[in-house]
Structure 1
Amino acid sequence: MSRIAIVGGHGKVALHLTHVLAEAGHSVSAIIRNPLQSDDVIRAGATPVVLDVEQASTQDFAAAFAGHDAVVWSAGAGGGNPARTWAIDRDAAIRSMDAARAAEVDRYVMVSYFGASLDHGVPSDNPFFVYAEAKAAADEYLRSTALSWTILGPGTLTLKPATGLIDVGDDAAGGRVSREDVALVAASVLERPATAGMFIQFNNGTTPIDDALDLLTD
């Protein structure tokens, strides 16, 4: 059994992931900003940890991560406020990476998006630009660390039920993926240390998740 901290623990992907991990016997700490969300994460199978990641210092994050085996970053500003997007999707994410190292938590899984990169190609006048810039900066910083990191790049998210089937890489470009399937991919990645150092882009497709990930690591 592992202890896993999920940052942004009340998000839809995070709640699905909590349920999957708890069902598998893992201990989950759901890091949430609003204490009123505690009942929801408890019902999903997690222990709530109240921490405002926008305001949290590296030391605050490290204290929350202490004693865990892995961190999953599934937090985000949700768009609409550029300053808050920089503060959460870039700055807080980077502090959490430094904190994971300080807390001696080696495994770190980042939930990013399909196409995330420094040369993402989003025009500067597009409302998505700030988010693309912030995620690219955070992902690039994560790559520079000594953490055993994996970056997940799901495409457009849906609320459809999980299929358990994905396509990975270029074959998946332009697709969609259910949030439940994103959670299943994250859970599967956490069971596969060999995915460390990979940026895994995926969408719903035709290959069982475990088989698709095994093909990447063979």
Structure 2
Amino acid sequence: MADKKSKKVLIIGGHGRVALIATPKLIAAGHDVTSVIRNPNHVSDIEAIGATPLVRDIIGLEVETWEQRLTQYDVVIWAAGHGDRDSVEGTYAVDRDAALTSLEAMRNLLARGEHVPRYLMVSFLGSLNLQVDPEDSFYAYAESKKQVDRELLAAEDLDGLILAPGQLTMDDSPGGGTLLDPENESPWERKTSRYLVAEVITEMVGREELPEKKVLAFTDGKTPPSEF
């Protein structure tokens, strides 16, 4: 394992907006970042912010391939998302199936006594309990996240954390946040800057230990992430 100030980090979904903001912060903190991207046209964008691009389509990636990749890192950040809410099939393929396969790989590594990285899942506030109308375009994403987050919570031996921000914005960082109860909050009533999410990611990557609770729900506020 790398020491506290220098970790090997793998960001899955490296060209997403949160990942593109978090990557320079992680590098500035002394970490070595590899970004998994699907589109080879995005390689130059990743290189421009100081990370190593890894062009790979995570859809259909086999468990064994995940195992070989994940064990090379100290921290894995799941920031991937299909994005196109009109493509239900694609949403399930990325946000549910690919994520679940990565978790299966983590459990396999743990069972064999191999190196298992820390796992940070970027999710959303209320993911574990939110009820969405099946006719709503948000349904496939919400159901995917619910299943994956519950799976991560059930894997008690994994060093994992679910980041649960409110509705994401591109507002400037408020300089801090407010911790919330993930059981009693709606994602529609709270807003969270993507810049704050990136700061929280950087804080959690660098920590010796993660918070005791495996769901970190937060919105914009005044408490610095170092106190989360």
Report the TM-score, using the length of structure 1 for normalisation.
0.90
Q: Which amino acid aligns with 1:139?
A: D
Corresponding residue number in structure 2 for 1:189: 204
Structure 1 or 2: more helix by fraction? 1
Mapped to 1, the partners of 2:158 and 2:116 lie a distance apart of 8
Counterpart pick for 2:25 among 20, 35, 41: 20
Stretches of structure 2 that go unaligned for 5 or more consecutive residues are 1-5
Stretches of structure 1 that go unaligned for 5 or more consecutive residues are 214-218
Counterpart pick for 1:83 among 76, 89, 94: 89
Corresponding residue number in structure 2 for 1:150: 161
The alignment status of 1:169 with 2:169, answered yes or no, reads no
Mapped to 1, the partners of 2:67 and 2:212 lie a distance apart of 21
- In the TM superposition, 1:3-152 aligns within 5 A as 3-78=8-83, 79-101=85-107, 102=109, 104-117=115-128, 119-145=129-155, 146-152=157-163
Q: Which amino acid aligns with 1:183?
A: A
Residue 5 of structure 1 contacts residue 68 of structure 1 at CA under 8 Å; is this kept in 2?
yes
Q: Which amino acid aligns with 1:2?
A: K
Cα separation, partners in 2 of 1:52 and 1:9, compared to 1, 3 Å? same
Residue 148 of structure 1 contacts residue 197 of structure 1 at CA under 8 Å; is this kept in 2?
no
- TM superposition shift of 1:209: 1.9
Corresponding residue number in structure 1 for 2:3: none
Deviates most, 122-131 or 167-176: 167-176
- TM superposition shift of 1:85: 1.0
Report the TM-score, using the length of structure 2 for normalisation.
0.86
Mapped to 2, the partners of 1:35 and 1:196 lie a distance apart of 39
Q: Which amino acid aligns with 2:210?
A: A
- TM superposition shift of 1:140: 0.9
